[in-house]
Amino acid sequence: MIFTVRLDEELGRLLTRAARKLKVKKSELVRVALREYLSREVEEAARPFDLVSDLVGAVEGPPDLSWNPKGYIERRLRIGD
């Protein structure tokens, strides 16, 4: 795929300098940088729910335990008396 990008002078100079330093073509440097950036963005864009979705529903228990743990703890302590 051919893709054209217009750079301002400063970014063009930085790209040229980095390509010379790394001894690679500018196009190769842009491909590597873009691939790295996009792979990081996709990984970081995952919602926390997406990361644990396979665990949802894997544990059984009271439906309100996550927002009312104190009530369950108090009842368990009273039962043990």
Distance CA 15, CA 27 (A): 9
Cα 47 to Cα 36, 37, 50, 58: the distances in Å are 20, 18, 5, 19
How many independent structural domains does the chain possess?
Answer: 1
Residue 13 is assigned to a structural domain of this protein: yes
Residue 1 is assigned to a structural domain of this protein: no
Residue 70 is assigned to a structural domain of this protein: yes
Report the chain's mean pLDDT, rounded to a whole number: 85
pLDDT of residue 80: 55
Structure tokens at 18: 């980095």
Residue 2 is assigned to a structural domain of this protein: no
Structural domain harbouring 35: 9-80
pLDDT band at 79 (very low <50, low <70, confident <90, very high): low
This model's pTM is above 0.85: no
pLDDT band at 17 (very low <50, low <70, confident <90, very high): very high
User: Hey, what amino acid is at 23?
Assistant: K
Tens of pLDDT, residues 19-49: 999 999 999 999 999 999 888 777 666 778 8
Residue 3 is assigned to a structural domain of this protein: no
